[in-house]
Amino acid sequence: MKVPVQFILDQNESPMFAVLPYAEYMRLIANQNEVQGTANAPSLLSEDGRYIRLPHGGPDAQLDIVELLLLLESKGITDLAINQRAQTLQKFPDEQADTLDPIIRRELLGKDSPYQNTMQAVTEVVDALVETGIFSRTKKSYSCFYRPVNALILDQEKASRFVKAYT
């Protein structure tokens, strides 16, 4: 398919601007992001590997990975749905309480945080969790969702070593 493009030339008849349909522009931008990926984005993982900066959690907000791992262990959670949603914390159904986004908001962000109703398990945070090597991505079926969803699997051996290293 040929895309209609108009060129705006400078005084020397050299192309200065290209005018193209908006849909084509959006396709080009999407492809540019796919090529660049997130490799150029700075990691949210701290230098020592213990904390993940929460970009939507307020100033200096961070997720303590040890605290997350101890919480998951206390609840017997070995895998969890990511469940990133742009909705208030109270709107998560009770049966989805032990999924990543509500856990971060409710348990790890702080009871008095004004950011509890802001999605915290954004892609960059999930990427940082995977970057630790303790978690890996998967799609999994859970009874509280009607279809398989994005989830994280916990490598319990690595988690145990991680916790021992920081406690």
Q: Domain check: are 17 and 55 in the same one?
A: no
Q: φ, ψ for residue 14 (rounded to 5)? A: -95, 140
Q: Domain check: are 23 and 78 in the same one?
A: no
Q: Domain check: are 91 and 124 in the same one?
A: yes
pLDDT at 31: 58
Digit-coded pLDDT (tens) for 73-95 = 999 999 999 999 999 999 999 99
Q: Domain check: are 11 and 64 in the same one?
A: no
Least Cα distance to 104 among 68, 77, 140, 131 occurs for 68
Segment 67-74 shows an average pLDDT of 97
Pick the residue with more confidence: 53 or 60? 53
pLDDT at 154: 97
- The residues near 97 (Cβ < 8 Å, ≥ 6 apart) are 103, 106
* Rounded Cα–Cα distance for residues 116 and 99 (Å): 15
Number of compact structural domains in the chain: 2
Q: Domain check: are 130 and 85 in the same one?
A: yes
Torsion over CA: 93, 88, 80, 67 (sign): negative
Digit-coded pLDDT (tens) for 98-131 = 999 999 999 999 778 999 999 999 999 999 999 9
3-state secondary structure of 18: strand
Domain range holding 145? 51-166
Residue in the block written with tokens 């909705």:
87
Q: Does residue 1 lie within any of the structural domains?
A: no
Q: Does residue 96 lie within any of the structural domains?
A: yes
Q: Does residue 42 lie within any of the structural domains?
A: no
Q: Does residue 122 lie within any of the structural domains?
A: yes
Digit-coded pLDDT (tens) for 20-35 = 787 777 777 775 544 4
Q: Domain check: are 57 and 118 in the same one?
A: yes
Q: Domain check: are 75 and 15 in the same one?
A: no
Angle at 98 between CA 46 and CA 92, to 5 degrees: 105
Q: Domain check: are 18 and 90 in the same one?
A: no
Q: Domain check: are 120 and 159 in the same one?
A: yes
Q: Domain check: are 67 and 119 in the same one?
A: yes
Q: Which long-range contacts (CB under 8 A, 24 or more apart) does 70-73 make?
A: 70/163, 71/103, 71/107, 71/108, 72/154, 72/159, 73/159, 73/163
Is there a contact between 140 and 149 (Cβ–Cβ < 8 Å)?
yes
Q: Domain check: are 12 and 80 in the same one?
A: no
